[in-house]
Amino acid sequence: MWLFCYNTPMRLDKVLANSGYGTRSEVKDYFRQGRVCLQGAIIRDPGFSVTEEQLQDLTLDGVPVLASEHLYFCLYKPDGYLTAMTDDRLPCVGDLLPTNLKTKKISPVGRLDYHTTGVLLLTNDGELSHRLTSPKWHCEKEYLVTYEGDPLTEKETVLFASGMTLREKDHAPEKLKPAKLELLSDHQCRLTLTEGKTHQVKRMLAQTGRPVIALHRESIGSLRLREDQKPGEMYALSSDDIDELKDLSSDL
């Protein structure tokens, strides 16, 4: 845990605020409202201090607190947002972060196009982010694709599964990893990739003569949007979610 320095005691309001649960003043209210418990006992004093060793079973509203300076969120990226933290001209995903997280050096892992919607992982864990964007990482990412043109067929299913080669004007041929294509309806399919080349889905479909008109990322590994999650909303990953991502990328 990065929050504590050499096991010196730290105030619980600081633990919560530094772990992304709210501003210092919001967090102080949680204590006054009796929402914070340590080992089952309600703690009303925001200044109550503990060492890292004493910090066991800290809960907010009964939910275990992830006390870490590393934060992990699953954002439902809306249409019309750049995958960037700041931009002078266009809306970007950084604009969707609550104010108390703006100073936490959080950034997106990988990139979705301006009009692509769906699962976007945000974190300030640089090491994990680096591993997850490495070309060596083979985690499955599912995309729901809406396209124009003739319906895709078994021919494209076989082509994508064999690992197609992108042949584009003014570019060297690029061999892709096998991808899984599920035909859902005449103009919709699900494409599962294990790599993340720039505009990969659009380029694969374009090579078969079909422009993509809408693209939505449904998952990264086991990470999915919540059923009631709306575009622009994000949730903090649970420690199980984080462990799974770390395990998936641990042998890179």
Contact footprint for ligand URA (CB under 6 A):
112-113, 116, 199-202, 215
The distance of closest approach from Cβ of residue 211 to ligand URA in the complex, given in angstroms and rounded to an integer, is 11
The distance of closest approach from Cβ of residue 153 to ligand URA in the complex, given in angstroms and rounded to an integer, is 21
| Helix (H), strand (E), coil (C) string for 86-117 | CCCCCCEHHHHCCHHHCCCCCEECCCCCCCCE
The span from the CA of 167 to the CA of 132, in Å, is: 27
The distance of closest approach from Cβ of residue 201 to ligand URA in the complex, given in angstroms and rounded to an integer, is 4
Shorter beta-carbon distance to ligand URA: residue 52 or 113? 113
- The phi and psi torsions of 126 (rounded to 5 degrees) equal -60, -35
What residue type is assigned to position 111 of the chain?
A: R
DSSP state of 82: B
Active site residue: 113, 170, 241, 251, which one?
A: 113
Work out whether the CA dihedral 234, 239, 244, 248 comes out positive or negative: positive
The distance of closest approach from Cβ of residue 210 to ligand URA in the complex, given in angstroms and rounded to an integer, is 13
Burial of 187: CB neighbours in 10 Å, binned 0-12, 13-18, 19+ = middle
Shorter beta-carbon distance to ligand URA: residue 98 or 211? 211
Shorter beta-carbon distance to ligand URA: residue 49 or 192? 192
45 catalytic, yes or no? no
Shorter beta-carbon distance to ligand URA: residue 193 or 245? 193
The span from the CA of 81 to the CA of 232, in Å, is: 10
Maximum pairwise Cα distance, the chain: 66
Residues that are catalytic = 113
